[in-house]
Structure 1
Amino acid sequence: MANNSLFLKSGFIKVPLQNGVGRFIGQLQRVTIKFCKSHGNSRGVREFIENDLVDFAKQNPGVVVYVKPRRHRGPSIVGEYLNGERNWKPAGNLSREEIFKWINLMTVQNGETEAFRYRKHIRTKMPSIQGVWTPFTHRNLPNNLITYPNEELGEVLHKEQTATERLLEIAMQQNLESDTSKEQQKD
């Protein structure tokens, strides 16, 4: 364990509202954009509101967006999440693109603002440092992409007739025999 993680809060991953079971539930509930209509450091926020806010609202129908003009105060963005957390970001002198990036970042977060050391339910005295093993781990890449059977490798498989194919063949022979016998009876 690294020394810098000794002083972090630790715990298990919590999945709010069984997120991911059945469908994804976005954790951002509400965004409040506060800005001044005339102050210079709110220019990026005003440009975002004029150009990108409607598109953002259409792409994220589960997020309520409030626009709150305030006189002679610095701009800010406040995100409120389903778990009750609030994430506040001062937006003074940010460009329109930076505002868009911060709001998109809020949409994918879950409201946890503190650094958090995740713990596992499984413990072992000898953890693996080699990574996850798969059947394709030590094979050459060209061999992973070949479709079998391959004539170049000399691994042509002799295709035998399957039981289903054999039964279909017998049924077709019986149908032919019954058709010929019916024709003979008519004559």
Structure 2
Amino acid sequence: MALRGVWQLKKLIVSYCDWGGSSRGIRAFMESELLTFKEKNPQLEVVTELIRGQHPHLKGFYKNKNERVVCVKNMTPEDILLYATRLRNALGRKVVKLKTRHVTKHPSVQ
């Protein structure tokens, strides 16, 4: 997601194994969907990384120095594309639990 017109995700690393069965979906994703994902997101640096013997995952690096890792083992290429777009649309902030349903900058003085 863009915060004031600036996309927050700056780098996406696609890690996979060229032999393992759990990486079958991500290998199909790289053949079919990854090129169109790169073309639709020119602001994003997409890097593929071969790691043998490990389950595949997507790792996103954000401008606020945070990173998110999503395991995509045994997923279809459509599901992997969904997770990649979720990483792209996220702001990279940590999840904060709200104490009340009503959030205000000026709490009541009563």
- Give the counterpart letter for 2:12 in structure 1: V
1:79 lines up with 2:60 in the alignment: yes
Higher relative contact order (CA 8 A, sep 6+): 2
SS at match of 1:115: coil
Which segments of 5 or more consecutive residues in structure 1 lack a partner in the other structure?
A: 1-15, 127-187
1:37 lines up with 2:21 in the alignment: no
Cα deviation code 1:109-164 (max 9, x no counterpart):
011233342842133368xxxxxxxxxxxxxxxxxxxxxxxxxxxxxxxxxxxxxx
Residue in 2 that maps onto 1:115: 96
Residue in 2 that maps onto 1:52: 33
Measure, in 2, the Cα distance between the counterparts of 1:121 and 1:81: 27
Measure, in 1, the Cα distance between the counterparts of 2:81 and 2:21: 18
- TM-score, normalised to structure 2, is 0.87
Partners of 1:44 and 1:93 within 8 A in 2: yes
- TM-score, normalised to structure 1, is 0.53
1:163-178 equivalences in 2 (<5 Å): none
Identity of aligned residues (%): 23
Is the radius of gyration larger for structure 1 or structure 2? 1
Which segments of 5 or more consecutive residues in structure 2 lack a partner in the other structure?
A: none
Q: Which has the higher helix share?
A: 1
Measure, in 2, the Cα distance between the counterparts of 1:46 and 1:110: 27
Q: Runs in 1 of length 4+ with deviation above 4 angstroms?
A: none
Query: How many angstroms does 1:73 deviate by?
Result: 1.3
1:102 aligned residue (70, 76, 83):
83
Q: Which has the higher strand share?
A: 2
C-alpha RMSD over aligned residues: 2.0
* Number of residue pairs the alignment of both structures matches: 106
Residue in 2 that maps onto 1:169: none
